[in-house]
């Protein structure tokens, strides 16, 4: 896929990891996804935030946890034209503003929210930085999935805030809802989840071999959450957690 230089407002544009052990997380994900994660030139200004690069293009962000109790998790960011207006729309739709819009140097403006079901996501108003420079290639984000026990509330919220459309499709493993914006699908929604998990956004990374990547994650201290399986029309998928509990999926895409 050609290099990405922009994202339409309302589409996921970036993912980032908050880690309690950034150096070891860099080693873990670098081995799995082929990332290079150089030191930031503005480490003092960005709190140690680092860009994970794939073939010279930004694929994801990685950062140390900034406060006690911060979860170890991947966060999906949606591109927006106006972060402050999005914060107001989130509040109007019964969501919660967890971090008010904040300028990040000249790179852009970020904010963090929770939808009415409790799933956390971010918004990114681009400045000089638009988001991931690569998608759906090995080592890059392939899909963003909302896992929630209240499909009705989630659809209503995201439809109101971002104008998303939802289409339910039948697969071998059951019904699955595709998220799209102006006809382009970029994510999904499911309510199939264990009772102990909170509602959340799950990031899928494209890989060459889902079985081998999932096995390597376990070998390097992670855990197998969902054994590899085939999803017709999509590819072979597995879900794992890293050694600190952050869950993510890997997908060897068809075609």
Of 47, 1, 44, 8, residue with least CA distance to 126: 8
CA angle 15, 181, 226 (to 5 degrees): 50
141-253: same fold as 12-126? yes
Report how far residue 48's alpha carbon sits from residue 109's, in angstroms, rounded to the nearest whole number. Answer: 18
Q: H or E element: which one contains 181?
A: strand 174-181
pTM for the model stands at 0.95
Q: Which residue has the tokens 């209240």?
A: 150
Q: How is domain 12-126 classified at the architecture level of CATH?
A: Roll (3.10)
Say what angle helices 83-92 and 151-162 make with each other, to 10 degrees: 140
Contact (Cβ atoms closer than 8 angstroms) between residue 186 and residue 11:
yes
Query: Where are the chain's structural domains?
Result: 12-126, 141-253
φ, ψ (nearest 5 deg) of residue 173: -90, 5
Contact (Cβ atoms closer than 8 angstroms) between residue 154 and residue 115:
yes
Report how far residue 57's alpha carbon sits from residue 140's, in angstroms, rounded to the nearest whole number. Answer: 10
pLDDT (tens, 9 = 90+) of the chain, 255 residues, equals 557 889 999 999 999 999 999 999 999 999 999 999 998 777 667 778 999 999 999 999 999 997 777 889 999 999 999 999 999 999 999 999 999 999 999 999 999 999 999 999 999 999 999 999 999 999 999 999 999 999 999 999 999 999 999 998 887 777 889 999 998 999 999 988 777 789 999 999 999 999 999 999 999 999 999 999 998 778 999 999 999 999 999 999 986
Which CATH number fits the domain 141-253, given the four candidates 3.40.50.2000, 3.40.50.2300, 3.30.565.10, 3.10.180.10?
3.10.180.10
Of 133, 134, 140, residue with least CA distance to 253: 140
Report how far residue 131's alpha carbon sits from residue 63's, in angstroms, rounded to the nearest whole number. Answer: 16
Q: Which residue has the tokens 């996501």?
A: 121
């Amino acid at each position: 896929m050609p290099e990405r230089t922009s994202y339409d407002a309302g589409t996921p544009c970036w993912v980032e990891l908050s880690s309690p052990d950034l150096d070891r997380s860099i080693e873990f994900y670098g081995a799995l996804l082929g990332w290079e994660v150089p030191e930031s030139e503005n480490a003092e200004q960005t709190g140690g935030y680092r860009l994970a690069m794939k073939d010279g293009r930004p694929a994801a962000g990685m950062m140390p946890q900034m406060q006690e109790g911060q979860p170890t998790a991947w966060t999906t960011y949606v591109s927006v034209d106006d972060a402050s207006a999005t914060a107001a729309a989130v509040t109007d739709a019964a969501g919660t503003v967890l971090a008010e819009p904040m300028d990040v140097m000249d790179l852009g403006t970020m904010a963090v929210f929770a939808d009415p079901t409790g799933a956390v996501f971010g918004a990114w108003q681009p400045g000089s930085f638009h988001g991931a420079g690569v998608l759906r290639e090995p080592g890059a984000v392939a899909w963003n999935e909302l896992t929630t026990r209240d499909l009705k509330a989630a659809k209503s919220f995201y439809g109101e805030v971002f104008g998303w459309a939802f289409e339910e499709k039948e697969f071998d493993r059951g019904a699955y809802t595709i998220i799209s914006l102006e006809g382009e699908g970029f994510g999904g929604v499911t309510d199939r989840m264990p009772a102990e998990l909170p509602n959340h956004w799950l990031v899928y990374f494209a890989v060459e071999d889902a079985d081998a990547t999932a096995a390597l994650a376990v070998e390097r201290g992670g855990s197998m959450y969902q054994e590899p399986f085939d999803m017709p029309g999509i590819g072979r998928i597995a879900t794992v957690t890293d050694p600190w509990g952050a869950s993510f999926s890997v997908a060897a895409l068809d075609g």
